[in-house]
Structure 1
């Protein structure tokens, strides 16, 4: 069994709300992303239902005549239902204590479990080359699952968009970053 999963962080958006659209720059990035992916074999696209994720991959999907499957498990992680003006200071310890949980939020382990379950479903599917489109926090937890050194600082280093290639075989799981802050 060999599976390739392209893990994509959405393009630049106008905000964090589920219905936040891409910015003008984000639309330009979506075109670059489509061009970048067009050189790769893709069987399936699975995306967070958030508008910015769908918009980031729509041009590519339309060009390749592929359906975008919406998947709630790819939604961004909810840190808390309470607004934290110091949210960055609250987020950092969740990469060291994976069970740390704030009111109304998910622990890192809970969020990681749901995104990993998407990958497990992909492994069981017939598709060999799948794109998933999601958000920085949930992507960082997925990569942390496979590489414990991927943490808060690496999350901060993610770009909009960003692309990682996750390769899964019977022998090993590995990943590489394909998109380096826009320089492909």
Structure 2
């Protein structure tokens, strides 16, 4: 029995320091509508999301289409990079990708964030075996999850993601059978 997980990286958002409440931009709402149209044909059974507003807003259209409430799973929130703002984001993110156990003060290492995301993914596979599930999440965490199942997904892949982006991971039990990009 195949289970399909549609990981949806959130659409473009309006930058604010409020990570939890950051909303989609006008462009983001247009793209979220396109996400809904793409997923309408996928026979989606359930919708899960990070608690971040931009992730919820990106997948709420498909939840409405299937008349389903969004299940909020805290473990699908974006990786926490640092307690304090970093001076150079590119440099800061490269360092955590170069050393899986490195973390900035108060932040999560790749290993810690990946373990959190993978545990949540395995829970979804157990709970919704044989179903098609949408998961609204964030780019860094999504790639860390993909990387766990296939090490070819890493930092360079993350840099090329779009906002939004959709990847379908197909599993037989808990064994990954394939990854396919749905967006574009």
Q: TM-score, normalised by structure 2?
A: 0.93
| Aligned: 1:117 with 2:119 | yes
CA deviation string 1:92-122 (max 9, x = no partner): 1322311111100001010001111111111
CA-CA distance at 1:172 after TM superposition: 4.0
Tell me: CA distance 1:171–1:43, structure 2 relative to 1, closer, same or farther (3 Å): closer
Partner residue in 2 for 1:168: 171
Could you list the runs of 5+ residues in structure 1 that have no partner in the other structure? none
Aligned match of 2:26 in 24, 27, 35? 24
Q: Secondary structure at the match of 2:147?
A: helix
Q: How does 1:128-139 map to 2 (within 5 A)?
A: 128-139=131-142
Structure 1 residue 63, shift from structure 2 partner: 1.7
Rounded Cα–Cα distance in structure 2 between residues aligned with 1:140 and 1:171: 18
Task: Give, in angstroms, the shift of residue 126 of structure 1.
Answer: 3.5
SS at the partner of 1:30?
helix
> Secondary structure of the residue that 2:42 maps to in structure 1?
coil
Q: Name the SS for the 1:15 alignment partner.
A: coil
1:152 to 2:135 alignment: no
126-135 or 63-72, larger mean C-alpha shift: 126-135
**Per-residue deviation, 1:45:** 0.8
SS at match of 1:132: strand
Aligned twin of 1:43: 45
Rounded Cα–Cα distance in structure 2 between residues aligned with 1:159 and 1:44: 24
What is the rounded CA distance, in whole Å, between the counterparts of 1:12 and 1:115 in structure 2? Answer: 22
Q: TM-score, normalised by structure 1?
A: 0.93
SS at match of 1:39: helix
Shift of 1:170: 4.5
What 5-or-longer segments of structure 2 have no aligned partner? none
Which deviates the most, 34-43 or 10-19? 10-19
